[in-house]
Structure formats: structure tokens, C-alpha cells
Structure 1
Amino acid sequence: MAPNKMLEKKGFKLGTFSSNCSSGMTVSKAPERWVNSWDNNLKLGKMLDDAGIDFMLPIARWIGYGGETDFHGGVLETITWATALLAHTKTLSVFATVHTAANHPVVVAKQIATMDQIGQGRAGLNIVAGWNKPEYEALGLTLPDDHETRYGYAQEWFDIVRKLWDSREHFDWNGENFTLKGVKGDPWPVNGVVPILNAAGSGLGREFATQNANYLFTPAIDL
């Protein structure tokens, strides 16, 4: 079993971002822009693994930006993408990116734990509490205007995930956003936890990350 590099506090971490999305991070009409096929992602993952790179981080998208190339219109779903990569690599840590509003915490806790079992302790979870409004509307969801509501929901969501990973007994939950009865987390992450990353730019988002995450993914505009 390889240690999860992203749980180690020492050293600079190097990884890739958005290879599961069409065009990656390049908004371009260039014919050679990134093609996010599974074959390309698998080749990239194996290459990164062989080179000793630390991690791969995906973007969770549901609709693209439209236009001639429909930037990010094609997206490999992140949990299945990450699980497959973990099954084909040896030391690389691979994150799944999850929108709290679109994914039930009990389901996600089991998905990530299963993913971590397959990867022998190399899985990671990137939590997204809010995203652009059209993608929420595409799923029939409402994006709250205030960050207090978004991160209040995300906090309860993650508290449930953590309890499922920490507890070995069935438990009930009666909260503001979730009511659960007799839930249990089996299976559990190999190391008891997985590295948590939070993508946030607001003050409340960064506060959420400092309280809950191992890593904050944020624009370096105003720190």
C-alpha cells in the first residue's frame, strides 16, 4: 500500500488540474487543444505516476460554455474518473471533485471510501460549496445568493461525511438540512481519512477551508 502523498505535510506538492474536461484550462479553437478522452487521461495518469508527480485534480461540470468549441462541454465525471485512475496507478493521489448541493453526503462518503479502498489509500476529496448559477439551474437546483447559506449547508454536509468515516456504529442525524436514520459508513477510508481540498475564493469559503480542509484551492488575487 502506497502512502497518500497529499496527507504528508512536508514538501511542495505538484499536480495537474482539469484534464477530465474538454480543452483542459485552455479556451482555444486550436486543433491541438486538449482532448479529454479516457485514453488520454489514462496515458497522462500513468505518465504522472511514473514521474513521481503528487496528484491529479478534476473539475466537476454539468454544462459547458457553449460557442464553437463548447469549452468544458465534455467532462468525465470525477468519481468514476478518479476511481479508474487509482486502479491503474501505484503512487499517484487522485481527487474527486464533488458539489455538495448535487450529491448526498451518505452516498459520497461511501463512494470516496470505496475509491480509497481501490486506490489503497490514495484517494482525495475536493469539496465545492457553490458554483455558477446556470449549472445549478441545469440540475433543477437553486444557488443561494449568500455565502452563509452555502457554507452552512456545506458544513453540515461534511460533518455527516466525517462522522460516517469516524463512526463504526449506526447513527441518526437531525440537522437543519439533513435528517438521517440508522446510517453507517462501512467501508471506511484506508487511513481513516482522505485529504480534503476546498475550492473557495470568498472570505467564508477560505474560513471553511481552514477549519475542514488540508488544502485551499483559491485565486491568488487578494490573500
Structure 2
Amino acid sequence: MKPIEIGAFLPIAQNGFALSSNSNPYPPSFAELRDISRLSEEVGLDYIFSMSKWRGFGGATHYWDASFESFSLMAALAASTERVDLYATINPLLFHPAAFAKMAATIDHASNGRLGINLITGATIDEYAQMGILPENYDQQRYRYATEWIEVVKRLWSEAAVDHYGEFFRLEACVSEPKPLRKPFPKLVCAASSEEGLRFTATHADMSFISSRDIDTIKRRSRQGKALAGELGKSIKTAVPLFLVLGETQADADAYQEFLIEGADVDALRNMGQAQTAQSRKGAQEHGAQRLADSRQIYGGLPVVGPAERIAEVISDLAEDGDVDSFLLLFADFRQGLQMFGDRVMPLLGRSVG
């Protein structure tokens, strides 16, 4: 199998990634996230990743109602880890590019060049509307805004001083020192499903995250993103989030999945579905409609249910037939799931532990 990267999607928000009362509740805890991050290193993963979430979806589990801020968390985890890359999530709305450029360079130095950045434009706009920071007509111009923002950031990371007079930002002989250690820039990833979003990702990012519950759709989008990048004269990697329900046998894994589904937080599922269908973006609307139609869709990412052999089979198929380069792992219980993944799945993938 071709070389792949494997990461852990840290449960930084209430109840993690399963909308179920039978999942680990994961109230925000730095000690817990530190231990999960260190375990990720011990079992041989390549990176850890944290999302940005400013408003949850309620329900019996208070799903994502409480969460840590991504960049602050990853800065702290830089001092608690030694090897894994650290991907933090940012929406350009939250920080002026000059402030962000220095923040990112600081964390990159603190981690000895391990910082990666996940750039988002906002899956649910009400997270940012509640702050009163949305520019007029932002939903229609979000990628113009993000394009100008990241172009300014990259200039600040590479030029001695920046003059910029754009649609959204104005800088005059603006300096940002020191520059990041990682050259030419910290790794940049982006998740998008619209044509505009895919073009933005192919143009500006190093890796595209693909989220779908359908394996054939993942393969098609992976090839599509790479082809688009090729048309622009560059290459790009693709990554897929996987929600793993591991068991000793298929029957064990199936039973564990049913246990999680029995505890489905139907109110949180409804609230998330309604929030997504209210967005203007087609991808968000589709995800929301699926959740409103099926109360079993309690997972984030592509659910893969089975023993180690089944997990390895799906990863290998996506890597080879879909040309996927990276896999971001989610679990209902991260300590148990990561340990089992390291012990059982990593050897099947030809990866060593630690």
C-alpha cells in the first residue's frame, strides 16, 4: 500500500463525535486531551487535529455546547507532545491576518515546526452571527474573503514588509517577525464540497478534507480535487475522517454500534440537521437533510464498523482505489479506540507502533 498519514481528531467539544448518550461525554478537559494526544504519539499516529466550534446543538447530551478554542489548545499541546503535527482550525473572520500570522508563527516555533492549519469559512453561519462579526453578504463572498486573507498571511510569512490595499484588508509596510520555522509555510488544509470551495482548496491548501458517508463519493471527490489541483499546476493530498467502531469480531462491533444508536440524542440530531439545512451551501444542506431523515446517523465522518481486518481493508481500499493520502480517526472512546487501533490495525497497514 502507498504511504499514508494517520491522525486523531481530538474530542475538544462536549460529547465528542457521536450524538449519543451512550458515548463518552467528553466535557472539555485539558488533561484528557493531553493524554489522548500523547497516546496518539505512542501508537504511531502522525498528527492530531482540533476543530473550531463556537455554538453547540443542545439536546440531552448538550452536544458541543462547551468546547475549547482550537489555537489555544494546540499551543498548549505543543508543550505536551514531541513528534506529531498539530493541526489547529481557524476561520478568517476571527483574526486580522497580521495578528494571525504572528500567532501561528509563535506556535510553530513552540512546536519546533509542527504546526498545521485547517482553514474554514463557516459550516453554520449562526456561530459567527452571534458575535456580530459577519461582513455584509459574507455567505456569498466567503471565498473572496478567505482568499484575500490567506494571501496576506502567506506574504507576511515570507516578506520583510507587506503593503496591501484590498477589498477587505489594508496593510502599510506591515511586518511580522519571526517567520514560521516550517518552510515555505505551515501546512494548510481545507474542507469544502462546493465547486468554489474545491477550487479555493486546490489553489491555496496542501490537503483537502473530504467528508461523506459514501465510499464511492469519497473516491470521486479525492480524484476530482487532485485533478483540479493538477489543472492549476500543483499537487494536493486528500484526507478522510473515519468514525471507527472497533470490535474483536464483526458481531462485537455491530453490537457496540447498536448500543451507541440506542442512546441517540434525537434533539441534538434535529437541531444539527435544522442548522445545516438552513445554510445556503448545498453540502451542508445535504448533511442536514440526511440527519433529519435518519436518527441512526449519529456519527461525524465515514462510519466503519468491524474488527481490525475490516478497518484495515477500508483504509487500504480508499488509499489505493481512491488515492486518499490521510485518515483522521474518530472514536466514541478515544483511549480504548486508539489503543486497539495501534495494537490491531497499525500492523495490518504495515505501520510500526511508537
TM-score by length of 2: 0.57
Letter of the structure 2 residue corresponding to residue 25 of structure 1: F
Task: Identify the match of residue 170 of structure 2 among 144, 163, 179.
Answer: 179
- Aligned 8 A contact 1:20 1:76 in 2: yes
Q: 1:152 & 1:32 partners in 2: Cα distance?
A: 39
- Aligned 8 A contact 2:155 2:162 in 1: no
- Aligned 8 A contact 1:144 1:150 in 2: yes
Deviation at 1:111, TM superposition (A): 0.7
What percent of counterpart residues are identical? 28
Deviation at 1:50, TM superposition (A): 2.0
Letter of the structure 2 residue corresponding to residue 178 of structure 1: F
Letter of the structure 2 residue corresponding to residue 183 of structure 1: C
Deviation at 1:31, TM superposition (A): 6.4
Q: Which residue of 2 aligns with 1:188?
A: 179
Cα distance 1:31–1:158, how it changes in 2: closer, same or farther (>3 A)? Answer: closer
| 1:60-114 alpha-carbon deviations (Å, 9 max, x no partner) | 0111112222211111111111011111111110111000112211111111110
Q: Which has the higher helix share?
A: 2
Q: Which residue of 2 aligns with 1:152?
A: 144
- Aligned 8 A contact 1:173 1:181 in 2: yes
Q: Which residue of 2 aligns with 1:59?
A: 51
Letter of the structure 2 residue corresponding to residue 138 of structure 1: Q
Q: Secondary structure at the residue paired with 1:101?
A: coil
The reply to whether residue 215 of structure 1 matches residue 202 of structure 2 is: no
Deviation at 1:163, TM superposition (A): 0.2
TM-score by length of 1: 0.89
Unaligned runs of at least 5 residues, structure 2:
222-354
- Aligned 8 A contact 1:18 1:25 in 2: no
Q: Which residue of 2 aligns with 1:115?
A: 107
The reply to whether residue 99 of structure 1 matches residue 110 of structure 2 is: no
Q: Which residue of 2 aligns with 1:7?
A: none
- Aligned 8 A contact 1:62 1:138 in 2: no
Q: Which residue of 1 aligns with 2:124?
A: 132
Q: Secondary structure at the residue paired with 2:138?
A: coil
Q: Which residue of 2 aligns with 1:4?
A: none
Q: 1:30 & 1:36 partners in 2: Cα distance?
A: 17
Q: Which residue of 2 aligns with 1:33?
A: 25
Query: Which shows bigger deviation, 213-222 or 69-78?
Result: 213-222
Q: Secondary structure at the residue paired with 1:102?
A: coil
Letter of the structure 2 residue corresponding to residue 191 of structure 1: R
- Aligned 8 A contact 1:24 1:34 in 2: yes
- Aligned 8 A contact 1:52 1:91 in 2: no
